Amino acid sequence: LLSAAFLGTGLCNAGAEAEGFGQEARTTPPAAEFNWTAQHKEGRYSNVTQKCWEFFVNLMRNVTASELCEWKIISRPYSLLQSCLEDWADRLNYGYPNTLAEQYIFQSHHRYFHNCTLEHQVYFDPPEDVLLAMIIAPICLIPFLVTLVIWRSKDGKAQP
């Protein structure tokens, strides 16, 4: 009789423990829920950015190889890609700039714009000796001009 009461009590406690464990299992901690939503946001953003990329590729099909480096031609598709990536990041509260958006931007440069060079000459700093002469010449000229002005003003003639 005592063993049945003991076993019965043990079973009841085990049932209570199991029920408590089940309640804990049904409630997820806030950190786990946050990770799920972050993963969900990342997944959604990944899908949307793929659509942005496909739209950009479709627009770039209309651009000939000779026009790939002309900003007037490519600015619209490029700006639309950037805007799409940024707007969807804002809508999903994902944060911009982000690594996924940067990957698409880098991919666009690698795929379409890697052969673009600057048409205009790039200006570099002059050599140090030329730069030094350009700095020292005006500095040395200032005392000469001040001396010339003072010498001319001691003319002795009355100034009107």
CATH of the domain at 90: 1.10.150.510
pLDDT single digits (tens) 108-142: 999 998 888 766 666 778 899 998 999 999 999 99
- Calculate what percentage of the chain has a pLDDT beyond 70: 70
- pLDDT computed for residue 56 by the predictor: 96
Residue 97 domain-assigned (yes or no): yes
Residue 22 domain-assigned (yes or no): no
Q: Is 104:49 a contact under the CB 8 Å cutoff?
A: yes
Give the chain's domain count: 1
Q: Is 55:80 a contact under the CB 8 Å cutoff?
A: yes
Residue 135 domain-assigned (yes or no): no
- pLDDT computed for residue 126 by the predictor: 84
Phi, psi of 159 (to 5 degrees): -90, 130
Residue 31 domain-assigned (yes or no): no
- pLDDT computed for residue 139 by the predictor: 93
Tell whether omega for the bond before 97 is within 30 degrees of 0, i.e. cis.
yes
Quote the CA–CA distance of 66 and 119 in Å, as a whole number. 13
Length of the chain equals 160
The angle at the Cα of 85, spanning 74 to 62, to the nearest 5 degrees, equals 30
The two tokens of residue 41 are 């946001």
| Residue range 7-22: mean pLDDT, rounded | 42
Whether pLDDT at 157 is above 90:
no
pTM as predicted: 0.52
Quote the CA–CA distance of 71 and 78 in Å, as a whole number. 9
Residue 124 domain-assigned (yes or no): no
Based on its alpha-carbon atoms, the radius of gyration of the chain, rounded to whole angstroms, reads 37
| Residue range 40-68: mean pLDDT, rounded | 93
Residue 24 domain-assigned (yes or no): no
- pLDDT computed for residue 122 by the predictor: 64
| Residue range 12-21: mean pLDDT, rounded | 41
Q: Is 83:135 a contact under the CB 8 Å cutoff?
A: no
Residue 95 domain-assigned (yes or no): yes
Residue 137 domain-assigned (yes or no): no
Give me the domain span that covers residue 106: 66-113
Whether pLDDT at 10 is above 60:
no
